[in-house]
Amino acid sequence: MSLVGVTPSTRVLAIETSCDETAAAIVEGGRRVISSVVSTQSDLHARFGGVVPEIASRAHVELINDVVAQALVEGGMRLRDVGAIAATHGPGLAGALLVGVSAAKALALASGRPYHGVHHHESHLYAAMLTDPTLEPPLITLIVSGGHTLLVAMDDHGRYRILGRTVDDAAGEAFDKVARLLGLGYPGGPIIDHLAREGDPTAIAFTRPMLDPREPDNLDFSFSGLKTAVVLHRRQHPDQDVADVAASFQACVVDVLATKLLRAARQARIGTIVLGGGVAANSALRARVAADAERASLRAVIPDRGLCTDNAAMVAAAAWHRLRFEPPTGLAGGATPNLALPGTDRADFSGPAVSTRQG
Ligand code: KG4
Ligand code: ZN
């Protein structure tokens, strides 16, 4: 199959359904958002304390047509005005991914436009390019989400090196689990973020996991032990203000994430750092990374909050950049729940299935 020949005026219509957001967007030239619609299902999953895959798939089926139609209407466009159709084809929940991939392929078939499948982490990385259209590799990106925590060096478009990853829970998973264990509700990230503003981040000195001074080069993460430490602390000090617990937990996660992001930039000698993924919407993390970057004379690009959590604009951006140098996936393409980041051979997906998020 040959290249599509995308240009700065090529618009990509993209769909994202890897987890519990049903989203569609149109982006021009990989950088300019024309429309972006996100329908979140978090209300449907809240009473279960985590994403239930079957409920997610069913909700995607119910929502997808309306969400795509709304993206076209808000963009003032018809299907014929877009040059390519894209969808997240992994990693993610199998049934959920299939809904978006099938819808995108149906639209491609109906319109005669090419279909391209996009890696979910790669699209999180491209969100920063929508916030700062001048952003170019090389850069170091920290992708922190419900199912993944990755430090990636992007040497060029489509060229990645995984520098670090979580060995157990993802950062977002830790927020969600701790919120659940503290009886705060779901999804935990935004709730803890909000509550932490009223708490003292120095109230409890939780041990910073994987920040051992004897391992100054370590770029991996671990959040499962921290979750246990929070639970034990709660049991031993039931009267302590829960806002202090939330703020201290958040301070610990933020400290580890920001320290390793800067460490990675220093080790790789790369001067630009980028955040991506739902946890990048966290106020404390955003403030800390911005301050650290300024102190270290690094350029930090932190996507607008709505581009951090799952959305389809980032998928369209990633697809446009990929279609510049690779042929479209085509209608034979499927969905791969544990898809490895392109150019690397390792799957980096640790969830979010209901069993891993609720543990
Ligand atoms: O990228 P995302 O929308 O979906 C996945 O790909 O997983 O990330 C969702 C995760 C959830 O764990 C959620 O609790 C977390 O991002 N999150 C946050 C915040 N907003 C969302 N975590 C901390 N602070 C936030 N403000
Ligand atoms: Zn995501």
- Pocket of ligand 1, beta carbon within 6 A: 19, 145-147, 172, 175-176, 187-190, 193, 277-279, 281-282, 309-310, 352
Question: Residue 358 — very low, low, confident or very high, per pLDDT cuts 50/70/90?
Answer: very low
User: Which ligand number lies closest to the CA of residue 49?
Assistant: 1
Q: What is the pLDDT of residues 279-331, one digit of tens each?
A: 999 999 999 999 999 999 999 999 999 999 999 999 999 999 999 999 999 99
Average pLDDT on 72-95 reads 97
Q: For residue 280, which ligand has an atom nearest its CA?
A: 1
Q: Which atom of ligand 1 is nearest to the CA of 176?
A: 14
**pLDDT value at residue 345:** 58
Q: Please tell me the number of Cα atoms within 13 Å of 240 on its side-chain side.
A: 19
Alpha-carbon gap, residue 359 to 114, rounded angstroms: 41
- Does the global pTM surpass 0.75? yes
DSSP string, 203-260: SS----TT--TT-TT---B--HHHHHHHHHHHHH-TTS-HHHHHHHHHHHHHHHHHHH
- Does position 1 have pLDDT exceeding 60, yes or no? no
**Whole-number CA gyration radius for the chain:** 20
Q: What three-state secondary structure class fits 252?
A: helix
